Amino acid sequence: MGEMVTLITNVGFPIAVATYLLIRFETKIDGLTKAITDLSTVVTEHSNYKSDDKVA
């Protein structure tokens, strides 16, 4: 029984920290994903690239 409490104590804190960081980073990753999508849209709209005007 004492070993089980020690195991939960030692493993529980790292799991809690990892969960907290994943939740915090998730919102940042969602924001970055939206920014990249928006940037891609803007670049596509303002691009003058034509498939037959490829540079060799």
Q: State pLDDT tens for residues 4-56.
A: 678 778 888 888 788 888 889 999 999 999 999 999 998 888 886 654 455 55
The pLDDT score that the predictor gives to residue 35 is 96
Residue 7 lies in a domain: no
Torsion of CA 8, 12, 13, 15, to 10 degrees: 150
Q: What is the pLDDT of residue 37?
A: 95
Look up the domain containing 37 and give its range: 17-42
pLDDT of residue 49: 60
Domain membership of residue 47 (yes or no) is no
Q: What is the pTM of this model?
A: 0.52
* 2: in domain: no
50 within domain boundaries: no
Give me the number of domains the chain comprises.
1
33: in domain: yes
What length is written for the chain? 56
Q: Is residue 3 situated within a structural domain?
A: no
